Amino acid sequence: MDNCKYNLYKAHPWHGIDPGANVPDEVIVYIEVVPTDTVKYEIDKTSGFLMIDRPQKFSNVAPALYGFIPRTYCGDLIAEYDSEKTGKIIRKGDGDPLDVCVLSERHISNGDILLHAIPIGGLRMIDKGESDDKIIAVLKDDEVYASWDDIEHVPEAMINRLKHYFLTYKNIPGKEIRPSVELVNVFGKEEAYNVIRKCIKDYQVQFGETIRTTYEI
Protein backbone atom coordinates (compact mmCIF):
# COMPACT_ATOMS: atom_id res chain seq x y z
CA MET A 1 0.00 0.00 0.00
CA ASP A 2 3.01 2.30 -0.20
CA ASN A 3 2.40 5.45 -2.26
CA CYS A 4 -1.29 4.55 -2.48
CA LYS A 5 -3.15 6.96 -4.76
CA TYR A 6 -6.59 6.00 -3.50
CA ASN A 7 -8.63 7.98 -0.99
CA LEU A 8 -8.91 6.20 2.32
CA TYR A 9 -12.06 8.19 3.07
CA LYS A 10 -14.93 9.36 0.90
CA ALA A 11 -14.09 12.68 -0.75
CA HIS A 12 -16.37 15.68 -0.28
CA PRO A 13 -18.38 15.82 -3.55
CA TRP A 14 -17.97 19.59 -3.86
CA HIS A 15 -14.42 20.17 -2.67
CA GLY A 16 -12.70 16.79 -2.86
CA ILE A 17 -13.30 15.80 -6.49
CA ASP A 18 -11.62 17.23 -9.58
CA PRO A 19 -14.04 18.51 -12.25
CA GLY A 20 -12.13 16.57 -14.89
CA ALA A 21 -9.03 16.76 -17.05
CA ASN A 22 -10.85 18.04 -20.15
CA VAL A 23 -12.96 20.87 -18.72
CA PRO A 24 -15.04 22.47 -20.24
CA ASP A 25 -15.43 20.02 -23.15
CA GLU A 26 -16.14 17.23 -20.69
CA VAL A 27 -16.96 17.53 -16.99
CA ILE A 28 -17.46 15.28 -14.02
CA VAL A 29 -20.88 15.79 -12.46
CA TYR A 30 -22.06 14.77 -9.01
CA ILE A 31 -25.72 13.74 -9.26
CA GLU A 32 -28.05 14.72 -6.42
CA VAL A 33 -31.50 14.08 -7.95
CA VAL A 34 -32.81 11.62 -10.54
CA PRO A 35 -36.15 11.87 -12.42
CA THR A 36 -37.86 9.25 -10.21
CA ASP A 37 -37.18 11.12 -6.95
CA THR A 38 -40.26 12.52 -5.21
CA VAL A 39 -38.14 14.51 -2.75
CA LYS A 40 -35.45 17.03 -3.59
CA TYR A 41 -32.01 16.06 -2.36
CA GLU A 42 -29.19 18.54 -1.95
CA ILE A 43 -25.60 18.23 -0.85
CA ASP A 44 -24.97 19.22 2.75
CA LYS A 45 -22.13 21.69 2.33
CA THR A 46 -20.58 20.93 5.71
CA SER A 47 -20.52 17.13 5.75
CA GLY A 48 -20.65 16.33 2.04
CA PHE A 49 -23.52 13.91 2.59
CA LEU A 50 -26.67 13.99 0.48
CA MET A 51 -29.52 15.47 2.52
CA ILE A 52 -33.26 15.74 1.94
CA ASP A 53 -33.93 19.37 1.12
CA ARG A 54 -37.71 19.08 0.86
CA PRO A 55 -40.46 16.80 -0.48
CA GLN A 56 -41.77 17.86 -3.86
CA LYS A 57 -45.11 19.45 -2.99
CA PHE A 58 -46.55 19.24 -6.49
CA SER A 59 -46.36 16.33 -8.92
CA ASN A 60 -43.49 17.83 -10.90
CA VAL A 61 -40.26 15.84 -10.84
CA ALA A 62 -36.84 16.62 -12.27
CA PRO A 63 -36.94 15.92 -16.03
CA ALA A 64 -33.23 15.01 -16.12
CA LEU A 65 -30.41 13.89 -13.88
CA TYR A 66 -29.58 16.91 -11.73
CA GLY A 67 -26.43 17.81 -9.85
CA PHE A 68 -23.35 20.01 -10.02
CA ILE A 69 -19.77 20.29 -11.23
CA PRO A 70 -17.30 19.84 -8.34
CA ARG A 71 -15.01 22.75 -7.46
CA THR A 72 -17.20 25.36 -9.09
CA TYR A 73 -18.82 28.31 -7.34
CA CYS A 74 -21.39 30.87 -8.43
CA GLY A 75 -19.87 34.10 -7.18
CA ASP A 76 -19.05 37.60 -8.34
CA LEU A 77 -17.48 36.67 -11.68
CA ILE A 78 -20.48 34.72 -12.97
CA ALA A 79 -22.81 37.46 -11.69
CA GLU A 80 -20.83 40.06 -13.61
CA TYR A 81 -20.82 37.88 -16.73
CA ASP A 82 -24.58 37.28 -16.56
CA SER A 83 -25.18 40.99 -16.00
CA GLU A 84 -23.24 41.76 -19.18
CA LYS A 85 -25.19 39.15 -21.13
CA THR A 86 -28.63 40.19 -19.90
CA GLY A 87 -28.33 43.91 -19.23
CA LYS A 88 -29.85 43.24 -15.80
CA ILE A 89 -28.45 44.13 -12.39
CA ILE A 90 -27.36 40.87 -10.76
CA ARG A 91 -25.93 41.41 -7.30
CA LYS A 92 -24.01 38.15 -6.92
CA GLY A 93 -24.01 34.44 -7.61
CA ASP A 94 -26.14 32.18 -5.43
CA GLY A 95 -23.12 30.83 -3.51
CA ASP A 96 -23.61 27.24 -4.70
CA PRO A 97 -21.68 25.02 -7.09
CA LEU A 98 -22.71 25.27 -10.76
CA ASP A 99 -25.86 23.22 -11.43
CA VAL A 100 -26.05 20.74 -14.30
CA CYS A 101 -28.92 18.86 -15.96
CA VAL A 102 -27.66 15.67 -17.61
CA LEU A 103 -29.74 14.06 -20.36
CA SER A 104 -29.60 10.30 -20.81
CA GLU A 105 -31.86 7.70 -22.35
CA ARG A 106 -30.80 5.21 -19.66
CA HIS A 107 -32.67 4.82 -16.39
CA ILE A 108 -30.42 5.70 -13.45
CA SER A 109 -32.14 4.77 -10.22
CA ASN A 110 -30.41 6.89 -7.59
CA GLY A 111 -28.23 9.90 -6.97
CA ASP A 112 -25.02 10.24 -4.95
CA ILE A 113 -23.02 9.15 -8.00
CA LEU A 114 -20.43 10.64 -10.34
CA LEU A 115 -20.62 10.62 -14.12
CA HIS A 116 -18.88 12.10 -17.14
CA ALA A 117 -20.98 14.58 -19.12
CA ILE A 118 -20.62 16.69 -22.27
CA PRO A 119 -21.92 20.28 -21.89
CA ILE A 120 -24.06 21.43 -24.84
CA GLY A 121 -25.77 24.58 -23.55
CA GLY A 122 -27.68 25.97 -20.62
CA LEU A 123 -30.43 28.07 -19.06
CA ARG A 124 -29.55 31.54 -17.82
CA MET A 125 -31.51 32.00 -14.61
CA ILE A 126 -31.80 34.66 -11.91
CA ASP A 127 -33.16 33.65 -8.51
CA LYS A 128 -33.95 36.50 -6.10
CA GLY A 129 -31.47 38.73 -7.90
CA GLU A 130 -28.68 36.13 -7.89
CA SER A 131 -27.11 34.18 -10.77
CA ASP A 132 -28.36 30.59 -10.80
CA ASP A 133 -27.46 29.26 -14.25
CA LYS A 134 -28.12 25.66 -15.23
CA ILE A 135 -25.78 23.85 -17.61
CA ILE A 136 -27.43 21.33 -19.94
CA ALA A 137 -25.25 18.32 -20.77
CA VAL A 138 -25.54 14.82 -22.17
CA LEU A 139 -24.18 11.67 -20.58
CA LYS A 140 -20.87 10.76 -22.20
CA ASP A 141 -21.26 7.92 -24.72
CA ASP A 142 -25.04 7.85 -24.31
CA GLU A 143 -26.50 5.61 -26.99
CA VAL A 144 -29.15 8.16 -28.05
CA TYR A 145 -28.13 11.62 -26.87
CA ALA A 146 -24.38 11.52 -27.47
CA SER A 147 -24.92 12.88 -30.99
CA TRP A 148 -26.37 16.12 -29.56
CA ASP A 149 -23.35 18.40 -29.46
CA ASP A 150 -25.11 21.77 -29.11
CA ILE A 151 -28.36 23.07 -27.66
CA GLU A 152 -29.93 23.44 -31.12
CA HIS A 153 -30.09 19.64 -31.38
CA VAL A 154 -32.28 19.31 -28.27
CA PRO A 155 -36.02 19.12 -29.12
CA GLU A 156 -37.98 22.19 -28.08
CA ALA A 157 -40.33 20.03 -26.02
CA MET A 158 -37.44 18.89 -23.83
CA ILE A 159 -36.18 22.44 -23.35
CA ASN A 160 -39.70 23.52 -22.39
CA ARG A 161 -39.90 20.70 -19.86
CA LEU A 162 -36.66 21.86 -18.23
CA LYS A 163 -37.89 25.46 -18.21
CA HIS A 164 -41.20 24.50 -16.61
CA TYR A 165 -39.51 22.50 -13.88
CA PHE A 166 -37.17 25.27 -12.79
CA LEU A 167 -39.91 27.90 -12.93
CA THR A 168 -42.30 25.88 -10.76
CA TYR A 169 -40.38 23.44 -8.54
CA LYS A 170 -40.36 25.80 -5.53
CA ASN A 171 -44.13 26.36 -5.60
CA ILE A 172 -46.08 25.15 -2.56
CA PRO A 173 -49.77 24.10 -2.81
CA GLY A 174 -52.16 26.43 -1.03
CA LYS A 175 -49.77 29.35 -0.94
CA GLU A 176 -49.77 32.38 -3.17
CA ILE A 177 -47.26 31.92 -5.96
CA ARG A 178 -44.74 34.74 -6.01
CA PRO A 179 -42.20 33.86 -8.65
CA SER A 180 -38.64 34.50 -7.49
CA VAL A 181 -37.02 32.77 -10.44
CA GLU A 182 -36.54 34.43 -13.82
CA LEU A 183 -35.46 32.40 -16.81
CA VAL A 184 -33.80 34.95 -19.08
CA ASN A 185 -32.63 32.90 -22.04
CA VAL A 186 -31.26 29.63 -23.38
CA PHE A 187 -27.64 29.55 -24.52
CA GLY A 188 -25.46 27.22 -26.58
CA LYS A 189 -22.29 25.22 -26.06
CA GLU A 190 -19.69 27.97 -26.35
CA GLU A 191 -21.48 30.12 -23.81
CA ALA A 192 -21.84 27.10 -21.53
CA TYR A 193 -18.06 26.76 -21.68
CA ASN A 194 -17.70 30.39 -20.60
CA VAL A 195 -20.10 29.91 -17.69
CA ILE A 196 -18.13 26.86 -16.51
CA ARG A 197 -14.84 28.76 -16.75
CA LYS A 198 -16.25 31.68 -14.75
CA CYS A 199 -17.53 29.37 -12.02
CA ILE A 200 -14.22 27.54 -11.77
CA LYS A 201 -12.46 30.87 -11.42
CA ASP A 202 -15.04 31.95 -8.82
CA TYR A 203 -14.23 28.77 -6.88
CA GLN A 204 -10.52 29.52 -6.98
CA VAL A 205 -11.14 33.05 -5.73
CA GLN A 206 -13.50 31.88 -2.98
CA PHE A 207 -11.57 28.85 -1.74
CA GLY A 208 -8.02 29.46 -2.97
CA GLU A 209 -7.84 26.27 -4.99
CA THR A 210 -5.92 25.63 -8.20
CA ILE A 211 -7.57 23.15 -10.55
CA ARG A 212 -5.67 21.14 -13.13
CA THR A 213 -7.29 21.49 -16.54
CA THR A 214 -6.24 21.24 -20.16
CA TYR A 215 -6.85 24.94 -20.82
CA GLU A 216 -6.00 28.30 -19.36
CA ILE A 217 -8.85 29.77 -17.33
Asked, for residue 193, whether it belongs to a domain, the answer is yes
Whether 30 contacts 68, CB under 8 Å: yes
Which pLDDT score is estimated for 9? 81
Burial class, 162, CB count within 10 angstroms (exposed 0-12 / middle 13-18 / buried 19+): buried
For the cut 60, the answer to whether the pLDDT of residue 82 exceeds it is yes
Asked, for residue 44, whether it belongs to a domain, the answer is yes
Q: What is the pLDDT of residues 185-216, one digit of tens each?
A: 999 999 999 999 999 999 999 998 665 555 45
Q: Per the structure, how many domains does the chain have?
A: 1
Q: Among 72, 61, 27, 34, which Cα is nearest to 50's?
A: 34
- The predicted model scores a pTM of 0.90
3 or 158, which is more confident: 158
CA distances from 107 to 71, 101, 103, 111 (A): 27, 15, 10, 12
Asked, for residue 89, whether it belongs to a domain, the answer is yes
Which pLDDT score is estimated for 1? 45
CATH code, 42: 3.90.80.10
Asked, for residue 56, whether it belongs to a domain, the answer is yes
For the cut 50, the answer to whether the pLDDT of residue 7 exceeds it is yes
Asked, for residue 124, whether it belongs to a domain, the answer is yes
Asked, for residue 3, whether it belongs to a domain, the answer is no
| Domain range for 93 | 27-169+182-207
